[in-house]
Amino acid sequence: MGLSRNRWILTAGVTGTALAVVVAGAVAANAAQEKPAVPPTGAAPRPAASALASAPASAPASAPASAEPESARERLGDVVDAGFAAKQGTWVLYAVPVKEKSLPGTHFGVMAGRRLADGTIVDVVVTNEVEGRDRAPGFHAVQGGMEVEGEPTPSFGYYAGDAARITARAGGRTVVAKVAAWSKDRRIKFFWFDPATEAVANLKAFDRGGRALPAGNNQVGVG
């Protein structure tokens, strides 16, 4: 099977699929600045991901936004505090709806955003499954950390199943993700790593008894 590289474009009010991340306004993601290496034919598809703009599409690229716009996107379930500070506010994760005819098995994605001091939620990066059912057992939509507006974003994604512990390899060591059940479907576990963590790979999931769980699509995409 050939590589599928559909990506969600969820920036400046545009929604659809494309082969590249859209970067607008003040956002500059490393995935847009450098072409990522193309995986070999037959490799698992990357998750769909997009960096979100923090300035309206109508604003000139050279004009910085005067204020962070609050997310206008519908959120599904509770907003999860990631426990890590961002340059402005703190990192949070939440589910958002996905409605795309070309992805009949995908109904939601996971957004990494920032909660500002006044409670405003700002969308930053969204990722979703692009092949098969979004609730099939295993890992889904694993998005590697990027640099957005000069700030590293966390690596994150979700696991469908009874995952109590999720690990990865980064910089020659094993790192452990934070895990939280989605309030809309507790079989779905959001997970994320410290934004300071090096590139993650070889993700594994374990139940409360320490037994290994199905891998699903544990390939890590960036951008």
- pLDDT, tens digit (0-9, with 9 covering 90-100), for 105-116: 999 999 999 999
What pLDDT, in 10s, does the model give residues 10-68?
333 333 332 223 222 223 233 333 334 444 445 455 566 656 544 333 333 333 333 55
b/e map 134-161, b = 16+ CB within 10 Å: bbbbbbbbbbbbbebbeebbbbbbbbbb
| Residue 13 placed within a domain | yes
| Residue 111 placed within a domain | yes
Q: Looking at the 3D structure of the chain, how many domains does it have?
A: 1
- In the chain, what percentage of residues exceed pLDDT 90? 65
| Residue 146 placed within a domain | yes
Confidence band (pLDDT; 50, 70, 90) for 222?
Answer: confident
Is the pLDDT score of 71 beyond 90?
no
Q: What is the mean pLDDT of residues 132-148?
A: 96
Give the residue numbers spanning the domain of 164.
7-56+68-206
Rounded to whole angstroms, how far apart are CA atoms 86 and 197? 14
| Residue 2 placed within a domain | no
Nearest one of 100, 9, 89, 91 to 48, comparing CA atoms: 9
pTM: 0.74
Query: Which pLDDT score, from 0 to 100, does residue 66 have?
Result: 36
Is the pLDDT score of 164 beyond 50?
yes
